[in-house]
Amino acid sequence: MQHLLYIPVLLAYVAVTVGHLVPWIVPAAVRERLRALGAAGVALHVVALGADVAVGVLRPGLPEAVSSVSLGVMVMYATLATGRQKALGLLLAPLGLVLLGLGLVVPHEEVAGLQQVQGVNAWLPIHLTLLFLGVAGFALSGAVGALYLYVHKALKAKRFDVIARLPSLDWLDQTQFRAMLFGFLALTLGIAAGGALAVASFQQSWVMDPKVVYTGVVWLIYAAALQSRLIWGRRGRFTAWVSISGFALMVFSLLGLNFILSSSWHGYVG
């Protein structure tokens, strides 16, 4: 990665994270502009990530993948963290910062299957963009789900002073559902685009690739959760826990599974 381009992005995300986690050490003028600072970091992040992809000749690796998820998380933060929803910054800003930090330090590993793609296949950027949008949607769903559980617990304990500063359970439930649905639709289209990429580029069978099977299982989990809500009305804590566990599975897929399956299409190679 072109690390110098990421220095201002990193500084912006650090300032936003500190402003949410320990606001008393941040000047009031900065606290009032945390969302704007996050949006500025997002704009710089887009430039830096674009430079990375350009230098890599449209063959992104692990650092770019992690950085893309960080970007998606911070876009969600800059979009939603206003008013009583500022509490989302307690979860989204640190997550975006940690992911960006990981992207800056992990070695550059490329997905093995990309080495077999001849030239620049138009399905590749579509596939990757949709998948990263899906992960970003699941990240927001997981963060909102965690906040839902906290507010639910505070409500049961009758901590009304805490509840007054946080989003309502109804808003959290609706936002968590919409974020999960967005992530699910993006993941579905991303899987379809990946299939088109594989058909156009690979000479061997890819259908039973372990990463494809794993992603299919995660897709089924989210599909079942959405159907449970739409058909049987399961919501609230149930979907909150699904959102948290589902995002954990996606993080494992991104940061762990590709190394374990180093001999598969999706395994990382140096």
Helix (H, G, I), strand (E, B) or coil at 111: strand
Mean pLDDT by 10 residues, the chain (270 residues): 81 93 87 91 90 63 80 91 86 92 75 56 76 89 92 86 83 92 93 78 58 84 90 84 90 70 55
Q: How far apart are CA 67 and CA 77, in angstroms?
A: 15
Asked whether the whole model's pTM tops 0.85, one would answer no
pLDDT at 57: 47
pLDDT at 145: 92
Enclosing H/E stretch for 269: strand 268-269
Comparing C-alpha atoms, which of 72, 21, 64 is closest to residue 179? 72
Q: How far apart are CA 122 and CA 124, in angstroms?
A: 6
pLDDT at 223: 92
Helix (H, G, I), strand (E, B) or coil at 268: strand
